[in-house]
Amino acid sequence: MNDAIAAISTPFGEGAIAIVRLSGARAGAIADAVFRGRRALGEAEAGRRLFGRLVDGGETVDEVVVSIHRAPASYTGEDVVEINCHGGILVTRRILRLLVERGARLANPGEFTERAFLNGKMDLTQAEAVMDLITARTDLALRAAAEQLEGKLGEKIGRLREMLLGLLAHVEAYIDFPDEDIEPETGAALLDKLNEARAANDALLNTAGQGRILREGVRTVIYGAPNVGKSSLLNLLLGYERAIVSESPGTTRDTIEEVINFRGVPLRLVDTAGMRDSEDAVERAGIERTLKSVSGADLVLHLVDGSRPRCQTPPPGGEILVLNKSDLGEDPEWQGAEAVRISCRTGDGMERLGDEILRRLLGGKWNAGDSVVAINVRHQACLKAAAEACARARQGLLERLPPELIAIELRAALDAVGEVVGKADAEELLGKIFSTFCIGK
Ligand SMILES: Nc1nc2c(ncn2[C@@H]2O[C@H](COP(=O)(O)OP(=O)(O)OP(=O)(O)O)[C@@H](O)[C@H]2O)c(=O)[nH]1
Ligand SMILES: [Mg+2]
């Protein structure tokens, strides 16, 4: 694993500068083979930036600024050389090729971060947070990623492991004395401790929904009868005329999907074809799509024309009822209906609609300044396994099973929790995580 890896760490394209990165024991030597400055990198103090030229034989490839960071005080924990060159597509590629000719290997996606993890520079949740940070599309997602990168999730996992470890040690003490069963008094104390651990585990598991929302966005479907203003609402939320709006019903035929940053939450908005009985094959196909969207939605905004009598569109369930066209006055049939009243024409009520959407999604959580721990799908699977093992351990304690059997379950829980931060090192697991990274990270 100590071979030197190299990659262009900045995005593909033209820019003022680009960074080509090298990591590994031989990073300095490889860079020195092509760098011509007043001093060699090998003699430079760590972190010092050296100006010079990169040469290919006798030919200058680019003028560059190069820095070296020495193990273990670097991102990867190995010697790292960063070459700041001009940001051209050809020049960066040529530099990368030069480094490879001198003995570096092209880095795999995420390999720099993988090395950071393997060298103990960060735990697995922090490594994953690097990717979350890069792909974050909203402030809230960014904050969650930054906190995870800081190690907030890792700390919580650490505390949970301590609790389980304490329990395990206690139970294992009984195994050493084969004739002893766990006394009722001790059993009760252990149960209390176990319940504490389970509560901590559940609290983390409960953040999975938020985690998914932050990472993938909320599928929000605008649903309703034709002509009630669904496309108008989409356009209003987007801030530009994305969908065609017209006074003839049945305007929107296909679903239209756009992602917006809605007060920090990524909303994947879907405008749909209006629901009605139709003879038209294309419109019917559109309505099929509407129904499919609704069945996969996280949130449905059921839009109706509040200026007209209650209509017959079947409510899809789990939705927010929105009465549109409040500028035209409200039909008496809607009196007292629990709904958000808006007008896409005047923009009236949009603030309240926004509040309601957030309230449904987050249940009033995430006040400014709150810590945003939000686990991802992988963490969720680990913690679920831990929860199940804890439940079996609890059952064992209640049934006063032999301590060996309880210890097995506690150990399983401990391993599952450890997997979140990468304590149980499975190569396959690492491959899966880091292959989703971009190259050069
Ligand atoms: N007065 C008033 N008219 C509105 C309002 N919202 C939309 N409209 C009008 O209602 C008509 C239908 O609007 P659309 O946004 O196309 O409705 P839709 O639900 O997407 O309709 P389909 O795509 O046919 O299902 C248009 O003439 C809009 O200008 C509103 O708040 N007040
Ligand atoms: Mg429409």
Which residues lie below 8 Å from residue 25, measured CB to CB, with a gap of 6+? 2, 4, 71, 78, 79
Q: Does an H or E element contain 374, and which?
A: none
Q: Are 312 and 349 in contact (CB under 8 A)?
A: no
Least confident of 70-79, 163-172, 194-203, 416-425: 416-425
User: In the chain, what's the furthest Cα-to-Cα distance?
Assistant: 86
Of 228, 230, 232, 327, the one to substitute when testing ligand 1's pocket (max ligand atoms within 8 A of C-beta) is 232
- Ligand 1 in reach of 250 Cβ (< 6 A): yes
Is the pLDDT score of 3 beyond 80?
yes
Q: What is the pLDDT of residue 5?
A: 97
Q: What is the pTM of this model?
A: 0.76
CATH number of the domain located at residue range(s) 125-207+375-434 in this protein: 1.20.120.430
Ligand 2 geometric centre to CA of 254 (Å): 9
Mean per-residue pLDDT, 166-180: 80
Name the fold adopted by 5-107: Gyrase A; domain 2 (3.30.1360)
- Banded pLDDT at 273 (limits 50, 70, 90): very high
Q: CB neighbours (10 Å) of residue 328?
A: 13
The CA distance from 35 to 40, in Å, is: 8
Q: What percent of the chain has pLDDT over 70?
A: 92
Strand ranges (DSSP E) for 169-310?
Answer: 218-224, 256-262, 265-271, 299-305
The CA distance from 250 to 196, in Å, is: 56
Is the pLDDT score of 213 beyond 60?
yes
Mean per-residue pLDDT, 159-174: 89
Mean per-residue pLDDT, 276-296: 91
- Ligand 1 in reach of 327 Cβ (< 6 A): yes
Ligand 2 geometric centre to CA of 409 (Å): 55
- Ligand 1 in reach of 344 Cβ (< 6 A): yes
Q: What is the pLDDT of residue 438?
A: 73
Superfamily of domain 219-362: P-loop containing nucleotide triphosphate hydrolases (3.40.50.300)
The model's pLDDT over 362-397, given as tens digits with 9 standing for 90+, comes to 765 555 456 678 899 999 999 999 999 999 999 999
Is the pLDDT score of 293 beyond 60?
yes
- Domains in the chain: boundaries: 5-107, 125-207+375-434, 219-362
Of 227, 242, 280, the one to substitute when testing ligand 1's pocket (max ligand atoms within 8 A of C-beta) is 227
Mean per-residue pLDDT, 251-267: 89
